[in-house]
Chain A
Amino acid sequence: MTKKKRVVYSNRPWEATGICSGCRLCELWCSLSKNGSFNPRRSRVRIVELGTGIDVPVTCQQCQDPACQASCKFEALSYHEKLKIVVVDEEKCTGCRACVGACPYGIITMDPVTHKAIKCDLCNGEEPVCVSICPSNVLALVDDVEAGEVNRRRLATLLASDDQFQRYMPGGEEPIQKKLEKRG
């Protein structure tokens, strides 16, 4: 039996290049693989820019009990048994946007060209394009257990005090003060 998988942002803030750089290659190449042309608004993974220096890739978390599917009145969203994810049937989709409002992650979106719902389909079980293109290696395809670990880490990051981060985050291996002494 295949395990349920999802693409997550497995950021490692203690490594300077282990955070999303905001290069948006995932958006561009996702749209290329789906449509044969570049258009970030047609991408299934989206970079959200939260002011200077914070970029976060957001993509479908492949919910256990999908709100998007529940909201669809036209049976356009169906559960793919093999991949264990929701997929869109473009024929049935009317572009009513009910799912867009229902999704807790805001990541089922409207295609600005076809006006149908689009969402991550994990590249049909092959290695997702976003994961393979990411130059910072911050996107990962994980199963439930790994996703739990990533989420736990993210919560810990939120809970850690600012002070700890200021001291340890950018350089990483040792406190800054020591580093300066070493350099004279």
Chain B
Amino acid sequence: MAKKKNCYAGKILRVDLTNGSIITEEFGSRQTDLFVGGRGVASKVLYDEVPPEIKPFDPENRLIFSPGALHGTGAPSASRTTVSTRSPLTGMHGDGHAGATWGGELKRAGYDLLIIQGKAEKPVYLFIDDDRFELRDASRLWGSFTSRTHAELCRELKDHELCTVSIGPAGENMVRLAAVFHNGSDKGTSARCGLGAVMGSKNLKAIATRGTGDVGVADIPALKSAYQDYLDTIAVDPYCPPATRYGTCRFMMHRVKFGIHGAENWRYGEYDWHKLDPEVFRSDYQVKAGACVACPVRCRRDYRVTSGPFAGTTAKVEWETIARSMTCGIKDPESVIAWSNICNHYGLDIEGTGDTVAFAMECFEKGILTEKDTDGLDLRFGNVEAYLELTRKIALREGDLADVLAEGTKRAAEKIGQGSEKFAIHVKGGEMTAGDPRGMPVRAVSYATSTRGGDHLRSNPYIEEIMTPEEALEWWGSEEAADIAKGLKGKGRMLKFSEDLVTLGDILGLCKFAFYRSATFPYLYKKGVHIATRLYNACSGRDLSEQEMLKVGERTWNIEKAFNTRCGATRADDIIPERFFKEPLMGGGPSGGAVVERDKFDKILDEYYEARKFNPQTGLPTRAGLEGLGLDDIADDLEKRGKLGA
């Protein structure tokens, strides 16, 4: 085996499940020159191979697994793998990212990219063992939980170090909220956009991978110095110690500070959160302060309940698990852990499922759903039994209501009707996540412009909190941009920059919490752009400048936008639910009574489109913008389809 010269393996594995053919293709400068790797390459392949005529559940829809460019190396927190597809939830670009070992194993087996197409006749799983690969019968595994699937595969293939991705019963049932799970239930999830449902629609239960090859590095001294620089930065950056101490639960204090809990289906800013304090989680329930592969920040947490009705339950809990539980009115950590356990085993996306259950609960509260519809479940906010039971039923599509909810909030609201569309909280069909945007106009716009539906990880506009007015003036041309509630000017440009910035993280496979969160803007820029660029150059042997790296992020964003445009999205789709414009945030607190003001929202969006060079009236990409990024062919394609902005 020749020694690898850089962090790329150099091959693509393409699996056609319809006829069982598995072929390898070359992976090289054609992909990496413009798109580097990870989400960049995956988005490009998705654009090229999935025209809008192919619907999400069509066999010809692709499921693309793309480890970040640095994944597999020892660069700090380089652990992320992108899974892309045309999303059954939004009907547009869909992807999910997970920090786990599977992507690195795929690279060690010799592949930078895995493309799945077609549909198997009966349940199968794919086994990749270095340069041998085969499709094997998975009917025995069909119906089993994600955790058991992983354990059974390890047993069947006699390897306890095997890396797998799999779907649970939810994915098999093509629940549009299903996710793809890495190494069993608690080791990382590519959650959003219904990826698991697409995998289920292809009758693909799992992918087991073993790779014994190397992942190379071009310049070891440069890598070491960038690594050391990263360690020195996180040692002085006040952001990191709480992350290491509490894991992602630490974001609770951020929500408390701004009063943006969005509890009980995005209505209350204040909430009785005290039992969900990160310190309680840490001192009473934590069994493991873990880490994703190669991460020195270590914010992954496993919790265990030792007494009460859920005694013995262990689960990985992230901040979003707690946030979504609060959306359903849950107030105690034990129920949160139990719910996380159910979602992870049945193979559900925690964020989408939480919002969907919350939507059903509000329908119940308003009398749109009655106990007759819910099969006797008392769907009040905060009712733990109903909350857990409905989640389980959604995964199995058990009963009429669960079958409807399994289609996601948007479709469920369309079916239930009776005015429930008004409080169906989704953007482009993807459920909303994280904190309430009321009182924070740029946050509101960031949900609207996200290319995969409502999502907080698509951009990083929270940098408005950490910037000083002087920095804002220097970067966005206006001191206003550092003002969270009142500022307007410069926020659109800031949003564009922050989107490019975190996209870069997905492309390189770096974690957003480890690289794209900091206590001050200079630290953020140093980690997210400066060190990230050095790490990439050291591992790949290329010589990209920081500006070129940001441009790769921008290019990726534009190709995703073009994908959505081709699927019919316009400016009218870049909108957040009516609730945030009309209903003031209830419950008092720092943001109590706030709404998203429509004129502010539109002004920021205008500035954002201008910065992105999209047409401000239609929201469509323009030729000037695309050609500036070297995407001439995309511009031609959009023009042919009449979707190019003037």
B589: A residues at CB distance < 8 A: none
A148 at the interface (CB under 8 A from B): no
A22: B residues at CB distance < 8 A: 290-291
- Contacting A at CB under 8 A, from B250-285, are 274, 277, 279-280, 282-285
Docked Cα-Cα span, A180 to B316, in Å, equals: 23
B294 at the interface (CB under 8 A from A): yes
Nearest residue, chain B, Cβ from A171 = B283
A124 at the interface (CB under 8 A from B): no
- Contacting B at CB under 8 A, from A165-179, are 166, 170-171, 176, 179
- Contacting A at CB under 8 A, from B1-41, are 1, 3-4
Q: Is the CB of B296 within 8 A of A38?
A: no
Instruction: For B217, give its contact among A23, A38, A135 (CB under 8 Å).
Output: A38
Q: A39-B214, A39-B215, A170-B286 are in contact. Are A135 and B72 (CB under 8 A)?
A: no
Docked Cα-Cα span, A176 to B306, in Å, equals: 13
B245 at the interface (CB under 8 A from A): yes
Q: A41-B212, A113-B213 are in contact. Are A21 and B220 (CB under 8 A)?
A: no
Q: Is the CB of A52 within 8 A of B108?
A: no
B302 at the interface (CB under 8 A from A): yes
Looking at chain B, what size class is its interface with the partner chain?
Answer: 35 or more
Question: How far does the Cβ of B592 sit from chain A's closest Cβ, in whole Å?
Answer: 23
Question: How far does the Cβ of B182 sit from chain A's closest Cβ, in whole Å?
Answer: 13
Q: Is the CB of A180 within 8 A of B73?
A: no
Q: Is the CB of B245 within 8 A of A16?
A: yes
Looking at B1, B4, B245, B284, the one whose CB has the most chain A CB atoms below 10 A away is B284
Docked Cα-Cα span, A101 to B281, in Å, equals: 43
A125 at the interface (CB under 8 A from B): no
Question: 5 smallest A-B Cβ distances: which pairs?
Answer: A53-B288, A171-B283, A28-B74, A23-B291, A112-B212
Q: Is the CB of A113 within 8 A of B286?
A: no
Docked Cα-Cα span, A29 to B293, in Å, equals: 12
The contact string, 1 if C-beta is below 8 Å from chain B, for chain A 89-111, is 00000000000000000000000
Chain A residues bordering chain B, tally (CB within 8 A): 37
Q: Is the CB of A179 within 8 A of B283?
A: yes
A67 at the interface (CB under 8 A from B): no
The contact string, 1 if C-beta is below 8 Å from chain B, for chain A 24-59, is 110011011001111101100000010011110000
A19: B residues at CB distance < 8 A: 288-289
Question: How far does the Cβ of B315 sit from chain A's closest Cβ, in whole Å?
Answer: 8
B144 at the interface (CB under 8 A from A): no
B45 at the interface (CB under 8 A from A): no
Question: How far does the Cβ of A127 sit from chain B's closest Cβ, in whole Å?
Answer: 14
Docked Cα-Cα span, A6 to B435, in Å, equals: 49
A78 at the interface (CB under 8 A from B): no
A151: B residues at CB distance < 8 A: none
Q: What are 9 A-B pairs with beta-carbon distances under 8 A?
A: A21-B288, A21-B291, A22-B290, A28-B294, A37-B3, A38-B74, A38-B215, A53-B304, A135-B297
Q: How many A-B residue pairs have CB under 8 A?
A: 117
B83 at the interface (CB under 8 A from A): no
The contact string, 1 if C-beta is below 8 Å from chain A, for chain B 580-601, is 0000000000000000000000
Question: How far does the Cβ of B227 sit from chain A's closest Cβ, in whole Å?
Answer: 9
Question: How far does the Cβ of A18 sit from chain B's closest Cβ, in whole Å?
Answer: 9
A3 at the interface (CB under 8 A from B): no
Chain A residues at the B interface, C-beta cutoff of 8 Å: 16-17, 19, 21-25, 28-29, 31-32, 35-39, 41-42, 49, 52-55, 112-113, 133, 135-136, 166, 170-171, 176, 179-180, 183-184
Q: Is the CB of A24 within 8 A of B294?
A: yes
Instruction: For A37, give its contact among B4, B296, B314 (CB under 8 Å).
Output: B4
Q: Is the CB of B298 within 8 A of A37?
A: no
Nearest residue, chain B, Cβ from A17 = B289
Nearest residue, chain A, Cβ from B183 = A49
The contact string, 1 if C-beta is below 8 Å from chain A, for chain B 211-237, is 011111100100000000000000000
A49: B residues at CB distance < 8 A: 160
Question: How far does the Cβ of A86 sit from chain B's closest Cβ, in whole Å?
Answer: 24
Instruction: For A113, give its contact among B1, B220, B289, B297 (CB under 8 Å).
Output: B1
Q: Is the CB of B287 within 8 A of A170?
A: yes
Q: Is the CB of B108 within 8 A of A39?
A: yes
Q: Is the CB of B298 within 8 A of A39?
A: no
Q: Is the CB of B296 within 8 A of A180?
A: no
Q: Is the CB of A23 within 8 A of B293?
A: yes
Q: Is the CB of B217 within 8 A of A37?
A: yes
Docked Cα-Cα span, A8 to B155, in Å, equals: 30
Question: How far does the Cβ of B344 sit from chain A's closest Cβ, in whole Å?
Answer: 10
Q: Is the CB of A52 within 8 A of B302?
A: yes
Nearest residue, chain B, Cβ from A112 = B212
Q: Is the CB of B220 within 8 A of A36?
A: yes
Nearest residue, chain B, Cβ from A32 = B74
B213: A residues at CB distance < 8 A: 39, 112-113
